Amino acid sequence: MNILYAALRNDPRDIDRSSSVDYGFYTAFLERGHQVEVVGPFPPRLPWWEKGIKKVHDRLTGKRYLKWDFASVWAASQAVNKAVAATRPEVVFTMFPATLAFYRGAAPAVFNTDLTFASWQANGAGFSPIALRVLTWIEHQALTRSAQVVLHSEWSRQDVMQRHGLPAGKLNVLPMPSALPLDAVPESIDVLADKALPDPAQAAPLRLLLVGKEYHRKGIDIATEVVTMLNQQGLPAELTVCASIGPPAPHVRYVGPFRKSVPAELASYMALYRQAHLLIHPARFEPAGIVPGEAAALATPTITNAAGALATTVKDGVSGIVLPKDSPAGAYVQAIRELVQEPARYYDLCATTRRRYEEELNWRAAGRQLDTILARAGGATSA
C-alpha cells in the first residue's frame, strides 16, 4: 500500500524525536512492505498578524496560546492536500490533527491520537478558553475527516466517543508499543538469572526504576516516598530516575536522558530496565505510556495506577500491577512488599510481562494490527 505520512514538527525518520512514536509508526509501515512517502515536517511560521493576536491573547488571558499557530495549521493542511493530489496515495497517515484540519484530499485518512484537548485541559494543559475552543475544533475536523482513528487506550476511546460523537467502529485501540529498536531487544530473557530478587540475608536492595521527564505529572515525588517507606519498613530498596532531575533524597539517583540513536547510550538505557526489578510509574495523568512497553521488553513488570491509558498499557496481573487511580505511596509499598514476599509470583509476572511484549507491545505486532486498520480505512472509502 502507498502511504503518505503527514508529519508536523518531527521527522518520523528520526528515532530521537517525539519519544520515538513517529519513528515507530514509520518503521512499522516499512516493515510490513508499504511504500511510505513523508510530507513535512513544517516549522512554526508565526506571521506578523498572528504574532499580534498572540500578544493580545497572552496579555488578556495569561493562559497558553494554541499548541500550533493557525498559520501552520493552514499551511500543513494545504501541503497535505497538494501532496495527495501529486502522489495519489492509497492512505494518508498522521499523528497531528493540524495536518487534517482543512484536508480535502481523495485518499482516506488514518489519524492517531492519545487524548482529547478537553482531557488534556482537565489535567493541567493551561490553555485559555478561546484557545481550547479553537484546538477542539481542529481536533474535531481531524477526527471527522478520518476514515479510521488509532487510539492507545480504552480510556481514550471512551473519551473520543463521548466528546466527539464518533462511532465505535471507527475507533481502534492499539496499546502503546515499546520504543526500543527491535533489533536491540534480546531474543529471550532468563527470568531467574536476570530478575533474581535480592537475598534478604545480604541486605541487597530491591531496584526500582522510574523513567519520566515531568516531576509532578509522572509522580516522581510519589516514587521517592515509596522508596523511603520501603527502607523505613526494613525492605532495602533504591530508586533510579531516568530523564529527570529532582531534589536530592536518600536511596534515589538521577541519570540520563539517553539517545536511542547512539548505541552506547541505548545500551546504558536498556541496562536500566534489565537491572530493575520493577518499573514504578505512579503518574497522576498518562495519555499513552511508552515506558511500560520498554520495561516489558526486558521482562520488567510495571507497578502503576489506573490513570488515563495506564490500565491498557499495563495489564493487571499480566505485565504488572495496576492500582486504583491516584493511589498513595502506601498502596505501592504494600503491593511491592506482597509481591517480593512471593518470589514464584514475581518470576511468573516477569515471564508474562515479557510474553506480552512479544505478542503485543512491540512495533512488529503493532504493524500487523495497523495493516487491518489501513485496510478498513480503504474499505470505508470504496464502500
Q: What is the residue range of 226's domain?
A: 182-359
> Both 251 and 116 in a single domain?
no
> Both 264 and 145 in a single domain?
no
Say what the pLDDT of residue 199 is.
86
The stretch 325-353 carries a mean pLDDT of 98
> How confident is residue 256, by pLDDT bands cut at 50, 70 and 90?
confident
The stretch 262-283 carries a mean pLDDT of 97
> How confident is residue 158, by pLDDT bands cut at 50, 70 and 90?
very high
The stretch 27-43 carries a mean pLDDT of 95
> Both 157 and 202 in a single domain?
no
What are the cell numbers at 143?
477526527
Q: Which residue type occupies 93?
A: F
Please state the φ and ψ torsions of residue 78, each to the nearest 5 degrees. -70, -35
> Both 224 and 193 in a single domain?
yes
Does the structure show a pLDDT above 70 at 291?
yes
Query: pLDDT averaged over the chain?
Result: 95
Say what the pLDDT of residue 45 is.
81
Whether 318 and 268 have beta carbons less than 8 Å apart is answered as no
> Both 20 and 118 in a single domain?
yes
What are the cell numbers at 136?
477542539
> Both 230 and 200 in a single domain?
yes
| CA distances for 32 relative to 27, 28, 83, 214, angstroms | 9, 6, 23, 34
> How confident is residue 381, by pLDDT bands cut at 50, 70 and 90?
very low
Task: Give start and end residues of each alpha helix (H) in the chain.
Answer: 21-31, 48-61, 70-87, 117-122, 129-145, 154-164, 191-194, 220-232, 263-275, 291-297, 310-313, 329-340, 343-359, 363-382
The stretch 111-129 carries a mean pLDDT of 96
Edge to edge, the sheet with strand 206-211 lists 252-255, 237-242, 206-211, 278-281, 302-305, 320-323
Look up the CATH number of the domain holding residue 153. Answer: 3.40.50.2000
**Contacts by 75-83, CB closer than 8 A, 24 or more apart:** 75/42, 75/45, 76/6, 76/8, 76/40, 76/42, 77/101, 77/102, 77/103, 78/102, 79/39, 79/40, 79/42, 80/4, 80/6, 80/39, 80/105, 81/105, 83/4, 83/6, 83/37, 83/39
Edge to edge, the sheet with strand 35-39 lists 35-39, 2-6, 91-94, 109-112, 148-151, 171-173
Say what the pLDDT of residue 380 is.
53
> Both 97 and 236 in a single domain?
no
Whether 304 and 176 have beta carbons less than 8 Å apart is answered as no
> Both 157 and 233 in a single domain?
no
> How confident is residue 382, by pLDDT bands cut at 50, 70 and 90?
very low
> Both 67 and 193 in a single domain?
no
Which residue, among 235, 169, 227, has the nearest Cα to 199 in the 3D structure? 235
Please tell me the total count of domains within the chain.
2
Region of residue 188 (phi > 0: left; psi between -120 and 50: alpha; otherwise: beta): beta
Does the structure show a pLDDT above 90 at 201?
no
Whether 197 and 346 have beta carbons less than 8 Å apart is answered as yes
State what percent of residues in the chain have pLDDT above 90: 90
CB-based burial label for 55 (10 Å; 0-12, 13-18, 19+): exposed
pTM score of the predicted model: 0.92
> Both 171 and 192 in a single domain?
no
> Both 193 and 271 in a single domain?
yes
Does the structure show a pLDDT above 80 at 215?
yes
Interatomic CA distance for residues 175 and 56, integer angstroms: 41
Q: Which residue type occupies 34?
A: H
> Both 271 and 290 in a single domain?
yes
100-112 pLDDT, tens per residue? 999 999 999 999 9
Say what the pLDDT of residue 200 is.
78
> How confident is residue 245, by pLDDT bands cut at 50, 70 and 90?
confident
